[in-house]
């Protein structure tokens, strides 16, 4: 009778155990729960500082933008937002107290937003470097009502004009739009109240449907007829009223 070596028997037993474990794993007895992969990127809320009054998103007071060797200077901007600042602009409802700011490149700018209204307003700056202001290159200060909040950013080295606006629906369209020029900026944006021409000027076209033409004809006919009707009425009155001779 052949004798099987003990090592081979042990190897075969271990292989059987592995196969059994794998088959149990591939047939789960309960539904699988898909867990999201651990997020290794910096969390969004780490860039968003929220409290009861509002929030500051993507502030940066330390990291230098590409091309800046050092912080070239410090600047301070206070922006008021509210309805009262729109009074000087015809047809506008909301505005900032100023529509343009100029700052130097590689400058640390401390921005304070003061909300003078009891409704939500924002100060949002666009097209900043995405690596400093992820994921869309935006810096935002938001206030839910009256109050003030401060955030800091470092201006990039490039000569550029940045859009500053309130992103609450219809607030920019109704006047809350401004521009921030770094190193003199690279031009002007459109529709800045009191500063640049409207990109789409107010225009109220008439829809010339058949009904509109019919209404126009009726209005014109009525307008032309009224003088003749009045003249006829007056003539009738004169002819029916007693003359001076008849009175005697």
- Choices 49-57, 114-122, 186-194, 212-220 (CB under 5 A): range interacting with Cu ion: 114-122
- Choices 97-105, 116-124, 127-135, 144-152 (CB under 5 A): range interacting with Cu ion: 116-124
**Nearest-angstrom CA–CA distance, 209 and 238:** 44
Burial environment of residue 185 by CB neighbours within 10 A (0 to 12, 13 to 18, 19 or more): middle
Three-class SS state of 246: helix
Minimum CB separation from Cu ion for residue 165, in Å?
Answer: 8
According to CB under 5 A, which one of 168, 173, 185, 191 is a site residue for Cu ion? 168
According to CB under 5 A, which one of 114, 125, 166, 192 is a site residue for Cu ion? 166
**Nearest-angstrom CA–CA distance, 49 and 146:** 18
Per the DSSP assignment, residues forming a β-bridge with 109 are 75, 153
Minimum CB separation from Cu ion for residue 174, in Å?
Answer: 9
Q: What is the dihedral of CA 50, 53, 57, 61, to 10 degrees?
A: -100
Minimum CB separation from Cu ion for residue 231, in Å?
Answer: 58
71 contacts 154 by C-beta, under 8 angstroms: yes
Please report, as residue ranges, which positions from 175 to 214 form the binding site for Cu ion (by CB under 5 A): 176
- Choices 44-52, 68-76, 117-125, 217-225 (CB under 5 A): range interacting with Cu ion: 117-125
According to CB under 5 A, which one of 59, 83, 171, 181 is a site residue for Cu ion? 171
| Positions that interact with Cu ion (CB under 5 A) | 121, 166, 168, 171, 176
């Amino acid at each position: 009778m052949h004798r099987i070596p003990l090592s081979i028997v042990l190897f075969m037993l271990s292989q059987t155990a592995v196969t059994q474990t794998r088959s149990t794993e591939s047939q789960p007895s309960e539904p699988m729960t898909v867990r999201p992969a651990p997020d290794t990127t910096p969390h969004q809320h780490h860039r968003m500082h929220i409290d009861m009054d509002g929030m500051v998103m993507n502030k940066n007071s330390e990291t230098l933008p590409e091309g800046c060797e050092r912080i070239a200077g410090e600047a301070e901007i206070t922006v008021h937002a509210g309805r009262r600042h729109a009074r000087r602009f015809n047809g506008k409802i909301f505005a900032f107290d100023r529509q343009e700011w100029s700052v130097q490149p590689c400058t640390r700018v401390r921005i304070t937003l003061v909300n003078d209204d009891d409704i939500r307003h924002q100060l949002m700056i666009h097209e900043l470097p995405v690596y400093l202001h992820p994921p869309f290159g935006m810096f935002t200060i938001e206030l839910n009502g009256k109050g003030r909040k401060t955030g800091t950013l470092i201006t990039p080295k490039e000569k550029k004009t940045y859009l500053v606006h309130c992103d609450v629906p219809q607030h920019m369209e109704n006047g809350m739009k401004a521009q921030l020029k770094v190193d003199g900026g690279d031009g002007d944006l459109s529709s800045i109240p009191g500063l640049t021409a409207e990109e789409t000027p107010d225009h109220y076209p008439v829809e010339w449907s058949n009904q509109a033409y019919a209404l126009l004809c009726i209005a014109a006919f009525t307008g032309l007829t009224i003088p003749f009707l009045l003249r006829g009425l007056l003539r009738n009155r004169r002819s029916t009223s007693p003359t001076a001779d008849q009175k005697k």
